[in-house]
C-alpha cells in the first residue's frame, strides 16, 4: 500500500490552498467545452464550473469514523465534513445553507445512494467518545433551505461500527445493528421500528441478548433484506428475511444457501447498495471455492450461491457504494460493486518497489456469477499517475477509473469496453472520492491534508445545447 506515499505527495501539492471557510467561490471560465458525442478514444477536457474550499471545521478533533458523501437532487448539491453539512446551488456553487453539529457530535452514517430523495438529505449523527462512540440519531437537511428540518430521537444500542442509513421511495431506513427504524423522509415521522431479536424470531435469553442484524434495501423493489449475523449458533443455518420498506411487515423468510459448517454467518451483511447480494464469505483453505457469494430474490426470497469470479486474490473484499468503499477511501484491495444485474469485482493493486500499479475488473452476472468480461488498466508510472477507481455513474451503466487527478476512463458496465475518456483537474490533487451524476461529476478532496478539511469541484460533462 502507498497511502503514506500518496499523502506525502499531496501535502506538497496542496501547500497554501486551504482557502476561506465560506464555500461560495466560483471557478474561472472553462478552459474547454465538453463535446456532445465525443469519439470514445478522444480525451475531453471537462470544464470545472465551480469549486469550493474550506479550512478546518469548527468542532472536535479529527474522527476517523466520520462518513462522507456528496449527493444531489435537481437543484442542489449536498456534502458534509466531520461536523457540518453544506447545501450548495448546483448551478454556481453558492451556499444555500449549512448545519453545524454540536462540538461532541459527528456524521457517523451517510446513504450509499448519491441521489437525494424527497428534497431532504439524511445523515446519521453520533457522539465522539474516548473509548467507544455512538451512532444513535438521524437528521434531515432540506435541499431548498440548507437548514435542518427534522431530527429523530436518539436510538439506544449499537456502536459506530457498520451503521446503515438509506433513503428511497420517501422512506429513510436506519439500522444500528440491534434496531431497525423507518422514518418518513420529508417529515422525520417514525413509520415503524423493529428490534433485531424480533425480526429474527430469536428464542431464549442468550440468543435474544446477542442478536444483531445487517440490512440493506434491494435495488429492484422497496424490500429490506435482513441478515441476522449472530442470533443463533454458528453451526445452524442462518435465516434471511425480507421486510416491506413502508410497513416493516415480513414478506418472506429463507435460509442462507451456504453451508454453516464451512462458512460462519458472523459479521456478514448484505451489499449496502443492493441487498440482494449477501456478503462474501472467505475460506482461503478451500482451493475449489475460496470465496462464496449468495444472492437472494427480493420478491419471493429464493436464493442461489456461487464461487466469486475473481477468487484467490489477496486482500479483503469490501462491499462498495456508487463511488468507492463505504468509507470513501480509494486504497482498499478489492471493491465489489453492484450495478443492476451485474457484479463488478474491482481490485486496485499498488506496488511500491516496482511502481507497477494497476486496476483489474472482473464483471459477472449478479445472480449466477457467470463471468461477462475482464478489464485491466495500468498507471503510467509517473509520481502522480497512480490508478484509482471513481465508481459508478448515476445511471449505473458506466464504471469510471482515473489516473491521479487527471485522465478518466469510462467503461460500459455491459461490455467492459471504453465509451469515453475525460480529464479532470481538481484543485485538491488527491481525490477522496467522486460522485458521477447525470452530465456532471463531483470530486471531493481528501480531508486532513494541509489545511483543507473538505472541498468540492463541480465539472460539467455534457456540452451546452445549441
* Distance in angstroms (rounded) separating the CA atoms of residues 93 and 52: 7
Q: Which helix (H) or strand (E) holds 77?
A: strand 76-80
Print the domain residue range for 281.
Answer: 189-307
245 and 175 Cβ atoms separated by less than 8 Å: no
Residue 347 pLDDT grade (very low, low, confident, very high; cuts 50, 70, 90): confident
Q: Are residues 320 and 462 in the same domain?
A: yes
182 found inside a domain:
no
Q: Are residues 246 and 276 in the same domain?
A: yes
pLDDT of residue 291: 75
Q: Are residues 197 and 74 in the same domain?
A: no
* Distance in angstroms (rounded) separating the CA atoms of residues 250 and 241: 7
Q: What is the mean pLDDT of residues 9-32?
A: 35
Residue 334 pLDDT grade (very low, low, confident, very high; cuts 50, 70, 90): confident
Set of cell numbers at residue 336:
465489489
pLDDT of residue 121: 98
181 found inside a domain:
no
5 found inside a domain:
yes
Q: Are residues 235 and 164 in the same domain?
A: no
When the pLDDT of each residue in the chain is averaged and rounded to a whole number, the result is 79
Does 308 have pLDDT greater than 90? no
Q: How many residues does the chain have?
A: 466
180 found inside a domain:
no
In tens, the pLDDT along 381-422 reads 555 566 778 889 989 999 998 875 568 889 999 999 999 988
In tens, the pLDDT along 207-237 reads 666 788 889 999 999 999 998 876 766 567 7
What backbone phi and psi angles, to 5 degrees, belong to 440? -155, 165
Q: Helical H runs in 232-375?
A: none
Q: Looking at 38-42, 88-92, 124-128, which range is the least confident one?
A: 38-42
Q: Are residues 336 and 301 in the same domain?
A: no
In tens, the pLDDT along 53-105 reads 766 555 556 677 888 889 999 989 999 888 889 999 998 999 999 999 988 88
Q: Are residues 35 and 112 in the same domain?
A: no
178 found inside a domain:
no
Q: Looking at 4-8, 115-119, 304-308, 366-370, which range is the least confident one?
A: 4-8
Of 285, 307, 329, which closes a domain? 307
The share of the chain scoring above pLDDT 90, in percent, equals 35
Residue 41 pLDDT grade (very low, low, confident, very high; cuts 50, 70, 90): confident
CA 424 to centroid of chain Cα atoms: 21
pLDDT of residue 328: 53
175 found inside a domain:
no
Residue 204 pLDDT grade (very low, low, confident, very high; cuts 50, 70, 90): low
Q: Are residues 37 and 79 in the same domain?
A: no
Name 253's bridge partners.
241
In this structure, what DSSP letter does residue 154 have? P
pLDDT of residue 24: 38
pLDDT of residue 148: 98
Name 109's bridge partners.
124
Contacts 24+ apart (CB under 8 A), 186-193: 186/118, 186/119, 186/120, 186/140, 187/149, 187/150, 188/138, 188/140, 188/149, 188/150, 188/151, 188/152, 190/152, 191/246, 191/247, 191/248, 192/247, 192/248, 193/248
340 found inside a domain:
yes
Q: Looking at 2-11, 42-51, 162-171, 284-293, which range is the least confident one?
A: 2-11
Q: Which of 14-18, 31-35, 270-274 has the highest mean pLDDT?
A: 270-274
Q: Are residues 459 and 353 in the same domain?
A: yes
Does 159 have pLDDT greater than 70? no
Q: Are residues 128 and 56 in the same domain?
A: no
284 and 332 Cβ atoms separated by less than 8 Å: no
pLDDT of residue 18: 31
pLDDT of residue 69: 87
Count of domains in the chain?
3
183 found inside a domain:
no
Of 279, 307, 335, which closes a domain? 307
DSSP line for 125-172: EEE--SS-----EEEEEETTT-SEEEEPPP--S--SSS-EEEEETTEE
Distances, alpha carbon 354 to alpha carbons 95, 235, 386, 443, in Å: 45, 45, 13, 29
Q: Helical H runs in 404-457?
A: none
* CATH code: domain of residue 230: 2.40.10.480
pLDDT of residue 12: 31
Of 261, 286, 307, which closes a domain? 307
Q: Looking at 109-118, 179-188, 423-432, which range is the least confident one?
A: 423-432
* CATH code: domain of residue 101: 2.40.128.630
Q: Are residues 300 and 321 in the same domain?
A: no
More reliable by pLDDT, 367 or 156 = 367
In tens, the pLDDT along 188-198 reads 999 999 998 89
Return the C-alpha torsion angle 228, 229, 230, 233, nearest 10: 90
In this structure, what DSSP letter does residue 57 have? P
Q: Are residues 108 and 153 in the same domain?
A: yes
Set of cell numbers at residue 96:
444555500
More reliable by pLDDT, 321 or 276 = 276
Q: Looking at 98-112, 192-206, 359-373, which range is the least confident one?
A: 192-206
Q: What is the mean pLDDT of residues 296-305?
A: 94
Q: Are residues 5 and 82 in the same domain?
A: no
Q: Which of 30-39, 127-136, 140-149, 437-446 has the highest mean pLDDT?
A: 140-149
Amino acid at each position: 500500500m502507498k497511502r503514506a506515499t500518496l499523502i506525502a505527495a499531496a501535502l506538497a501539492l496542496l501547500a497554501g490552498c486551504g482557502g476561506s471557510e465560506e464555500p461560495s467561490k466560483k471557478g474561472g471560465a472553462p478552459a474547454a467545452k465538453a463535446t456532445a458525442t465525443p469519439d470514445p478514444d478522444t480525451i475531453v477536457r471537462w470544464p470545472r464550473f465551480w469549486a469550493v474550499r474550506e479550512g478546518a471545521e469548527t468542532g472536535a478533533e479529527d474522527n476517523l469514523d466520520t462518513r462522507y458523501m456528496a449527493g444531489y437532487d435537481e437543484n442542489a448539491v449536498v456534502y458534509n465534513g466531520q461536523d457540518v453539512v453544506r447545501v450548495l446551488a448546483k448551478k454556481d456553487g453558492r451556499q444555500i445553507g449549512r448545519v453545524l453539529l454540536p462540538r461532541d457530535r459527528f456524521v457517523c452514517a451517510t446513504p450509499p445512494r448519491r441521489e437525494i430523495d424527497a428534497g431532504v438529505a439524511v445523515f446519521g449523527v453520533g457522539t465522539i467518545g474516548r473509548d467507544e462512540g455512538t451512532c444513535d440519531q438521524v437528521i434531515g437537511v432540506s435541499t431548498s433551505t440548507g437548514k435542518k428540518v427534522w431530527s429523530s430521537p436518539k436510538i439506544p444500542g449499537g456502536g459506530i461500527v457498520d451503521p446503515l442509513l438509506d433513503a428511497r421511495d420517501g422512506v429513510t431506513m436506519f439500522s444500528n445493528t440491534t434496531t431497525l427504524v423507518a422514518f418518513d423522509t420529508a417529515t422525520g415521522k417514525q413509520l415503524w421500528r423493529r428490534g433485531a431479536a424480533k425480526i429474527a424470531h430469536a428464542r431464549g435469553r442468550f440468543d435474544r441478548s446477542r442478536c444483531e442484524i445487517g440490512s440493506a434495501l434491494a435495488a429492484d423493489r422497496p424490500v429490506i433484506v435482513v441478515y441476522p449475523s449472530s442470533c443463533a449458533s454458528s453451526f445452524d443455518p442462518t435465516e434471511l428475511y425480507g421486510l416491506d420498506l413502508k410497513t416493516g411487515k415480513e414478506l418472506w423468510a429463507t435460509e442462507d444457501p451456504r453451508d454453516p459448517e464451512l462458512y460462519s454467518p458472523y459479521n456478514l451483511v448484505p451489499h449496502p447498495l443492493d441487498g440482494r447480494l449477501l456478503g462474501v464469505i472467505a475460506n482461503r483453505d478451500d482451493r475449489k471455492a475460496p470465496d462464496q457469494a449468495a444472492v437472494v430474490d427480493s420478491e419471493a426470497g429464493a436464493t442461489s450461491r456461487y464461487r466469486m469470479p475473481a477468487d484467490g486474490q489477496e486482500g479483503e473484499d469490501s462491499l462498495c457504494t456508487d463511488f468507492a468503499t463505504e468509507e470513501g477511501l480509494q486504497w482498499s484491495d478489492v471493491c465489489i460493486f453492484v450495478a443492476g444485474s451485474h457484479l463488478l469485482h474491482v481490485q486496485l493493486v499498488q506496488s511500491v518497489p516496482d511502481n507497477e500499479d494497476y486496476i483489474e475488473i472482473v464483471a459477472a452476472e449478479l445472480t449466477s456469477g457467470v463471468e461477462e468480461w475482464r478489464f485491466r488498466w495500468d498507471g503510467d508510472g509517473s509520481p502522480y499517475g497512480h490508478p484509482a477507481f471513481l465508481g459508478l455513474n448515476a445511471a449505473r451503466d458506466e464504471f469510471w477509473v482515473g489516473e491521479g487527478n487527471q485522465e478518466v476512463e469510462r467503461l460500459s458496465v455491459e461490455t467492459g469496453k471504453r465509451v469515453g475518456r475525460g480529464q479532470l483537474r481538481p484543485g485538491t490533487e488527491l481525490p477522496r472520492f467522486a460522485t458521477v451524476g447525470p452530465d456532471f461529476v463531483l470530486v471531493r478532496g481528501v480531508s486532513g491534508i494541509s489545511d483543507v478539511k473538505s472541498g468540492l469541484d463541480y465539472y460539467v460533462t455534457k456540452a451546452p445545447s445549441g
